[in-house]
Structures are given as structure tokens and as C-alpha cells.
Structure 1
Amino acid sequence: MNLTDKVIVITGGGQGLGRAMAVSLANSGAKLALVDLNEQLLEETVQLVQDAGAMAKYYIANVTNEQEVESTFNHIKNDFKVIDGLINNAGILRDGMLIKAKDGQVVKKMSLEQFQSVIDVNLSGVFLCGREAASHMVESGTKGVIINMSSIARGGNIGQTNYAASKAGVVAMTTTWARELGRFGIRVGAIAPGVIRTAMTDAMKPEMRDRLEKMKAVGRLGEADEIAHTVKYIFENEFFTGRVVEIDGGLSM
């Protein structure tokens, strides 16, 4: 896919990886439809995209709400006339152990709300947005691309029952959608980042950050721009579909 003038929807587009992706795609000539819950952050990202010489609009929506997702994608289609790509980037963390025990007694459990809230955003939200994007692509005859953000935690990680389950599900949906949607000319891929440098990692205690860096073969954390580069690769390589790209600095070797 040549990204010039292509309309790309990014959920969680107000900050972090979503913002880095938006600016990167803008530099390649794409038009951006940014979805998030924080209007101020969305406005800031739109300005950065416009500074890069590209067009952008923002939409405030909760990706876990079916009616809001349907309405938002209809608005995007009305505003841009077409949807060429979707990056399912919105996600949350609610880390905690399945159970905590002391002296043979369980003192704390992961609550259903703690589990379900992550599944709702990271898995159900991906499902809803992917379904709506695919529907618009098929109806307009667009050979589009859907990219789902997974994580290397999808293989299981202590303290992340909810997050790991959601990110494993994202990969399963990616493979399924690639097989189902290929006949319409729609490609679907996933990216599984390792630990990426963000405001959250910058706020970590130095010893914790040093330990994370030493765990990686490259000896450092990843950068948001490196994930954005992978996004462009998936969009531009028309032989890529149904696979997940691990960008983790060798952490999972």
C-alpha cells in the first residue's frame, strides 16, 4: 500500500505509541482519523500531524461501547469517504497476581472487574473496531489493512493474567481475520512490542529500568518510533498478512 492520501484510523491515538504512529504515517502522506477518550491529547496529536503537512480529525469514543464504535466509524467514513487502514492500538493495564497467599491463606484475588476491564478494552475493543473497519472496507471495495497491537506478554507473564490473555486473543483474531478477509483484498497483521520507552518507563526507579535494559540483547528499551516503523512496513509490504511481528530487542530469544 502506498500511504499517500490513504485514510488510517488509529485507536488510542492521543498519546504514546498512537501519537508516534500518527506522526510517522503523516510524514508518509497519510490522512489520520484519531480515536481516543482524551480530547486535549487528541488535539495535540492532530496539531503534530498538521505540522507534518497532513490532514487529521479526531473522534472521542469508548472502544468498548458498540454503539459508539459503530457511530464513530460511520462519522469517519462520512468525513473521509473511505477507510483504508486501522491500527487497533487502544489498550490498558490492570496488573495483579491471580491470587496472593500468606501462611497458607489466600489474602487477595484478582477481581472479575480487574480481569474484565482489560479484556473489554484490549480484546473486545479490537473486535468491535476491526469489525467496523472491515465492514466499511468491504462495502466500499477497499483493499485495506488492519493492524492489531499485541505484546510479547501474550505467551504469559507473572502478574498479567488479564493482559496476557487479551494479547494472546488479539493474535488469534489476527490470524482468523487474515484468513476470512483475504478474499476481499484486506490484509491483517499484528505487532508484539517488548518494553518501549514511554513516560511510564521514564518514571521507573533507575534500578528497575536498568534491569529491563539488561534483559534485552540490544541492551536498551525500544523507542516508539521503532514500533511506528514496523507499522509502515506492514502497510507497505503487500505480501504480509496473518502474522505477528515481535519487536522486543531480543527479549524473547
Structure 2
Amino acid sequence: MNLQNQVIAITGAAQGLGKAMAEEFAKQGAHLALLDMQKEGVEALANDIKKRGVSALGYAVNVTDEAQVEQTFAKLVDDFGQINGLINSAGIMRDGMLLKVKDGKVADKMSLQQFQSVMDVNVTGTFLCSREAATQMVETKSQGVIINISSVSRAGNMGQTNYSASKAAVSTMTVSWAKELGRFGIRTGCIAPGLVETAMAAQMRPEMREMFIKSIPAQRLAEVEELAHAAKFIFENDYFTGRTLELDGGTRV
């Protein structure tokens, strides 16, 4: 797919990875629908992107709210006339051990809310946005691409029961949708990064950060621009579908 004049929706677009994706795709001449709960953030980004000579609109939406997601995707197709791509960048992390044991007794447990909140955003949000994007692609007869963001943690990682489960789920959904939607000209892809140089990574304790980086063969964290480049590759390579692209610097959890 040539990104010039294509309409791409990006969730979690107000900051971090989503913002980097938006800026990269604007350079390629794509028109952008920017989705995030931070209304001021996406509107400011949209205004900045318009200076590049492409169309951009910000939409305030909670990706876990079915009615909001349905309304937002219907509205963006009204605004742009079509949708050719979706990047599910919205996601959260709430790490914790399944159990905390002291002196042979369970002192604490991961709460259902802690588990469910991550599943709601990372899995349900991805499902709802992808379902509605695919619906609009089919009904407007627009070929398109859906990209999910997984993680190296999808293989399972200590202290990440909820996050690992959610990232394994979005990787497998990518395969299912490739098989279901291919006949409509819709491809799917998934990117599984290791730790990325974002505000969240910057909050790590220096000694923990240094120890983690030493475990990475590439000896550094991923840059958000490198993930944006990976997304660009998936969009532009018309034979890529139903697969997860690992971008982890050689890390294996």
C-alpha cells in the first residue's frame, strides 16, 4: 500500500508511540485520524500535522467503551470518506506478582481490577477498534491494514500476568483476522517490541535500566521512530499479513 492520501487511524495518538506513528505517516502523505482519551493532546497534534500539508483530526474516545468506539469510527469515515488503516497503539501496563508470600503465607494477591484493567484496554480496546475499522473498510469497499502492538512479553514474563496475557491475545487475534478478512482486501500485522524509549522507560530506576539494557544484544532500548518504521513496512509490503514482527533488539523473555 502506498501511504500517500490513505486515511490511517491511530489510537493512543496523544503521546509516545502513537504520536511517533502519526508523525511518520504524515511524512508519507497519509491523512490521519488521531484517537485518544486526551482530547487536547490529539487536537494539538492534529493542528501540528496539518502544517505538513495533510488532513488530520483528533477524536476523544475511550477505546474500552463500545458505543464510543462505534460512534467514533462512523464519524471519522463521515469526515474522511474512507479508512485504509488502523494502528492499535493504545495500551497500559500494571505490573505485579500473582501472589506475594511472606513467611509461608499469602500477604497479597493481584486484584481482579488490576488484571482486568489491562485486559480491557489492551485486548478489548484492540478488538473494538479493529472490529469497527474493519466494518468501515468493508462497507466503503476500501482495502486496508490493521496493525496491533504486542510485546516480547507475550511469551510470558515474571510479574506481568495481565500484560503478558494481553499481548499474547493481540498477537493471536492478528492471525485470526488475517484469515477472516483477507477476502475483503484487509491485511493484518503485529509488532512485538522489547522495552521502548518512552516516558514509562524513563521512570525506571537507573540501576534497573542499566541491568535491563545489558541483557539486550543490541545494548539499547528501541526508539519510537523504529517502531513507526516497522509499521510503515507492514503497510507498504502487500504480502505481509497475519504475522508478528519482532523488534526487540534480540531480547528473549
Q: TM-score range by the shorter chain?
A: over 0.9
Cα drift, residue 42 of structure 1: 1.2
Answer with 139-148 or 200-209: which moved more: 200-209
- In 2, distance between residues paired with 1:199 and 1:94? 15
Other-structure match for 2:182: 182
TM-score w.r.t. the length of structure 2 is 0.98
When residues 202 and 177 of structure 1 are mapped into structure 2, their CA distance, relative to the original with a 3 A threshold, is same
Other-structure match for 1:90: 90
- In 2, distance between residues paired with 1:190 and 1:87? 9
- In 1, distance between residues paired with 2:203 and 2:63? 28
Cα drift, residue 49 of structure 1: 1.7
Cα drift, residue 33 of structure 1: 0.2
Map 1:72-87 → 2, pairs under 5 A: 72-87=72-87
> What are the superposed Cα offsets for residues 178-216 of structure 1, whole Å, 9 maximum, x if unpaired?
000001110001000111111222232222221121111
Other-structure match for 1:156: 156
- In 2, distance between residues paired with 1:42 and 1:117? 23
**Where does structure 1 differ by over 6 angstroms across 4 or more consecutive aligned residues?**
none
Are the counterparts in 1 of residues 43 and 59 from structure 2 also a CA contact under 8 Å? no
Secondary structure of the residue aligned to 1:25 is helix
Structure 1: give runs of 5+ residues left out of the alignment: none
Other-structure match for 1:207: 207
> What are the superposed Cα offsets for residues 35-89 of structure 1, whole Å, 9 maximum, x if unpaired?
1011222133223322333221010010001000000000000000000000011
Secondary structure of the residue aligned to 1:64 is coil
- In 1, distance between residues paired with 2:223 and 2:195? 9
- In 2, distance between residues paired with 1:89 and 1:60? 15
Are the counterparts in 1 of residues 26 and 49 from structure 2 also a CA contact under 8 Å? yes
Alignment length, in residue pairs?
Answer: 253
Other-structure match for 2:106: 106
Cα drift, residue 252 of structure 1: 1.8
Map 1:32-51 → 2, pairs under 5 A: 32-51=32-51
Calculate percent identity across the aligned residue pairs: 56
- In 2, distance between residues paired with 1:111 and 1:205? 25
> What are the superposed Cα offsets for residues 142-182 of structure 1, whole Å, 9 maximum, x if unpaired?
11000001111101011110011011010111000000000
- In 2, distance between residues paired with 1:48 and 1:24? 13
- In 1, distance between residues paired with 2:60 and 2:92? 17
Cα drift, residue 124 of structure 1: 0.6
Other-structure match for 1:55: 55
Is 1:138 aligned to 2:138, yes or no? yes
Secondary structure of the residue aligned to 2:90 is coil
Secondary structure of the residue aligned to 1:107 is strand
Are the counterparts in 2 of residues 190 and 245 from structure 1 also a CA contact under 8 Å? yes
TM-score w.r.t. the length of structure 1 is 0.98
